[in-house]
């Protein structure tokens, strides 16, 4: 006989029977749970830096996702092309299209947001920005843009380290992806 408060609606699970050494036992799959906590802040200034990082990541992360999607599309299209001339023409058109859509947004970013974008591009594509420019535009263009980046105090060869210095960024991105931030 079912009692009024026996189960929470929508929270019941069907247990499966599993044979373990000749004995049939009930089993339910338990999903992995990851617990994230906001880091403790001793000073109000540290909390404001964290909040600013969250703000900047929310602004920049969508562009890193766009880069990942766009690169996969470009790679798929270029795989079907036979001649080098075809590839160069296609890349030229893609570059014009990207500049037309995103140049204003990128120019409005701060230097800090630009540094974050460089790291997030590495996170999403598993290639540094320098390598991507070198692969698609050539060594000369990559060296030129690396020089410009160095003038502004950043590095296109910077890699994303989710377990080291970028662990706080990784935890914030996990929260953003889960819709909690």
Q: Is pLDDT above 90 for 56?
A: yes
pLDDT tens for 94-109 read 888 988 888 888 889 9
| Per-residue pLDDT, 13 | 64
| Per-residue pLDDT, 91 | 87
Three-class secondary structure of residue 131 per DSSP: helix
Mean pLDDT throughout 59-63? 94
Q: Which contacts of 19-22 are long-range, i.e. CB under 8 A and separated by 24 or more positions?
A: none
Tell me the pLDDT tens digit for each residue of 6-18. Answer: 555 666 667 788 8
Mean per-residue pLDDT, 57-83: 90
Whole-number Å distance between alpha carbons of 45 and 42: 9
According to the model, what pLDDT value does residue 88 have? 87
**Of the candidate ranges 23-32, 47-56, 114-123, 170-179, the one whose mean pLDDT is the lowest:** 23-32
Average pLDDT over residues 134-154: 90
User: Which pLDDT does position 39 carry in this prediction?
Assistant: 73
Place of tokens 């802040």: 41
Measured CA to CA in angstroms, residue 46 lies from 12, 42, 82 at distances of 43, 7, 54
What is residue 87's predicted lDDT score, i.e. its pLDDT? Answer: 86
Residues facing residue 25 across a β-bridge: 18
């Amino acid at each position: 006989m079912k009692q009024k408060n026996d189960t929470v609606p929508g929270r019941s699970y069907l247990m499966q029977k599993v044979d373990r050494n000749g004995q049939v036992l009930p089993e339910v799959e338990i999903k992995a749970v990851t617990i994230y906590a906001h880091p403790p802040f001793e000073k109000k200034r540290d909390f404001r830096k964290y909040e600013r990082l969250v703000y900047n990541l929310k602004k920049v992360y969508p562009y890193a996702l766009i880069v990942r999607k766009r690169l996969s599309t470009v790679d798929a299209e270029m795989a079907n092309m036979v001649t080098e001339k075809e590839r160069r023409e296609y890349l030229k058109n893609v570059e014009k299209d990207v500049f037309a859509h995103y140049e204003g947004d990128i120019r409005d970013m701060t230097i800090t947001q630009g540094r974050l974008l460089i790291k997030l591009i590495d996170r999403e594509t598993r290639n540094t920005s320098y390598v991507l420019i070198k692969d698609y535009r050539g060594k000369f263009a990559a060296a030129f843009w690396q020089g410009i980046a160095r003038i502004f105090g950043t590095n296109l060869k910077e890699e994303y380290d989710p377990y080291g210095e970028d662990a706080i960024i990784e935890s914030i991105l996990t929260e953003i992806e889960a819709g909690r931030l």
